[in-house]
Structure 1
Amino acid sequence: MAQGARDQSEARARQGQSGHPERAVVKSEQDELAFRALTRKITQARGLACDSYKDRCLRRRISVRMRARGVHTFADYGRLLEEDALEYDLLLDALTINVTKFFRNVETWRALAPWIEGLWKARRGEVRAWSAGCASGEEPYTMAVALAETARRLGQPALLGRARVDATDIDRASLERTRAPAYPEAAFTEMPAELVHRYFTPEPPRRPVPELQRIVRVLKHDLTSEPAPAAPYDLIVCRNVVIYFDRPMQERLFTLFADTLAPGGLLLLGKVETLFGPARDRFRLEEPRERIYQKATPA
């Protein structure tokens, strides 16, 4: 290709297929306006604080539903929501879905075990824990197993009933699955086999034993707009949740956790999440690799 023709071709590529850069700009602006209108509509209709989520996360997950319904623009999808109330539920599921499994990153739970034992001894078994963003229940039941194992190691299994794990989420389907827990074999690939046999039914779909189910309380809760469901907590686990929010909302959540934890309480974040902002000074990073923080006790 001659240099002149190549230059013209590259210029057209930069301008867009139409060859009119101003049209591309207008289309981009229209797309942005339609996206903002759509997120406002979702917030008003279902109370989800869309403006606190990262844009790329929102766009990606909304696009999943758009493709599923054969819709190509945000404006058209907004009109679809007005006509189909069920689509709101499906969209909310897509926006809040969180992939998890039992004892995910098992090394993290091994590192957490002695800290939980310390809490158990200090609280005489009355440990209050919060799974903030519980998805389909694997995390809160992992926490329940960790508490049960602590009671067993200390020869105090009868005290397990004094513990409690609050499992919260905004997603309707996640809460339903947590209230009626039944899990396929794939959910247990990281969980030590002896714990699976000890705390779950033998045949899939596996269900937690009654002792675990009795200490897990399932609650609907919106992290972005509601106070903690109870306080104080001794352990808060919120893994791979805050990463989806923008920085101001992350700071607000970290402050919420700091306010809600009892002195000496533990906060477990995801491995790619880091505590920052004003709340950072209220914690010590005890296990840097596993993101285990302990709230400082008053001097």
Structure 2
Amino acid sequence: MDAFMSLQKSIEKLVRIKCSNYKEDYIKRRILSRMRLTNTEDFEAYHKYLLENPQELDLLRNALTINVTKFFRDPEVFDVIRREILPDLARRRGSIRIWCAGCATGEESYSIAILVYELLTLHKDVNVTIYATDIDAVALQKAMTGIYDRKALDNVDEKRIRKHFISHDDGTFEVRPHIKELVKFRQHDLMSGIPIARYLDAVTCRNVTIYFTEKQKNHLTHLFHSALAVDGYYIIGKTEYLARDVEHLFKPYNVMQKILRKAA
């Protein structure tokens, strides 16, 4: 067994991340970044370091699952959610349930929560639940804390910042309680094959599947299809796509913004 394969086996056992679900070059890039930071010269040396330094397990897990994001990333997508999707669901549903899958540190989940809060000023009788999940416990802790630097708010206008964030003396901004209480954060492994809930009205999973193998992408498409109610919305990343084997599960809603709807 070569050094890289041996290292992957230890990662699967100790870090509890199944390497075969991800593209090999992605796994190697993330490990190489940890090797540079730990001054280990090859996979064998890093493997030894990993086994001898328990704190490296969490650092490697973070490196493998990191998802760089910001509030209202790709503003055009959120504009469609604000103008079309949420009002449509409010008209048709007494309650709205949304799943932000692979939520990382929570920026996208809170972005949707801000839009939901604004919607509820016009539809006070609608109940909304936002599930936000990720495999990374450290990222989820940051999400639940809800404190971000100014750069994460580049796409948030000043009026929203004043209304929905608390400005701290150290230059950070904290999400206000009226937004936090709309989001339920939970640890969840998308590879488990079990959705966080069923009969959902919308699922967002953006810029997550680009790291997965084609087989795993198809598996996740089936997972989200099973989680959604009929005509539920599925929002994917701008560079993502559905493979031919699963594209029949969804019909286009907004091709430019990569928004789909569950097919009957």
| Higher helix residue share | 1
The residue number in structure 2 matching 1:115 is 85
Deviation at 1:67, TM superposition (A): 0.6
What secondary structure sits across from 1:165 in the alignment? strand
Q: CA deviation at 1:34?
A: 1.1
| 1:97 counterpart (60, 66, 75) | 66
Contact 2:193 2:223 in 1 (8 A): no
Contact 2:15–2:58 at 8 Å: present in 1 too? no
1:274: how far off?
0.6
For residue 123 of structure 1, report the CA deviation from its aligned partner: 1.4
Cα contact 1:131–1:165 (8 A) shared by 2: yes
Partner of 2:16: 47
Once the two structures are TM-superposed, the CA of residue 52 in structure 1 deviates from its matched residue by: 0.8
Three-state SS of the structure 2 residue aligned to 1:104 is coil
In the TM superposition, residue 194 of structure 1 has moved relative to its aligned partner by 2.4
Q: Which runs of 5+ in 1 are unaligned?
A: 1-29
> What CA distance in whole angstroms lies between the structure 2 residues aligned with 1:88 and 1:226?
24
Deviations 1:126-161 (A, max 9, x none): 111111111111011011112112222xx23x446x
Q: Are the equivalent residues in 1 in contact too, given 2:193–2:220 (CA < 8 A)? A: no
Residue pair 1:135, 1:175 contacting (<8 A) in 2 also: yes
Q: Secondary structure at the match of 1:207?
A: strand
Which residue matches 1:172?
Answer: 137
Residue of structure 1 in register with 2:227 after alignment: 260
Tell me how many residue pairs correspond in the alignment: 261
Q: Secondary structure at the match of 1:228?
A: coil
3-state SS in 1 of match to 2:175: coil
Shift of 1:46: 2.5
**Structure-2 residue corresponding to 1:83:** 52
- Give me the whole-angstrom Cα distance separating, in 2, the residues matched to 1:146 and 1:268: 15
Name the structure 2 match of 1:5.
none
Identical positions, percent: 33
Q: Which residue number corresponds to residue 251 of structure 2?
A: 284
TM-score, structure 2 length as denominator? 0.94
Counterpart residue number, 1:273: 240
Q: Distance in 2 between the 1:219 and 1:263 partners?
A: 25
Looking at secondary structure, tell me which structure has more strand per residue.
2
Offset at residue 197 of structure 1 (A): 2.3
Q: Larger deviation: 189-198 or 52-61?
A: 189-198
1:1-299 correspondence to structure 2 within 5 Å: 33-113=2-82, 114-124=84-94, 126-152=95-121, 155-156=122-123, 158-159=124-125, 162-203=127-168, 204-296=171-263, 298=264
Amino acid in structure 2 at the alignment position of 1:167: A
TM-score for the superposition, normalised by structure 1: 0.83
Q: Is the 8 A contact 1:112 1:292 kept in 2?
A: no
* Partner Cα distance (2:93, 2:161) in 1: 27
Q: Which whole-Å CA distance do the structure 2 matches of 1:232 and 1:200 have between them?
A: 32
Letter in 2 for 1:83: E
- 2 CA distance for matches of 1:65 and 1:188? 28
5+ residue gaps in structure 2?
A: none
Please identify the structure whose Cα radius of gyration is greater: 1
Give the superposition deviation at 1:293.
Answer: 0.4
Distance 2:198 2:158 in 1: 34
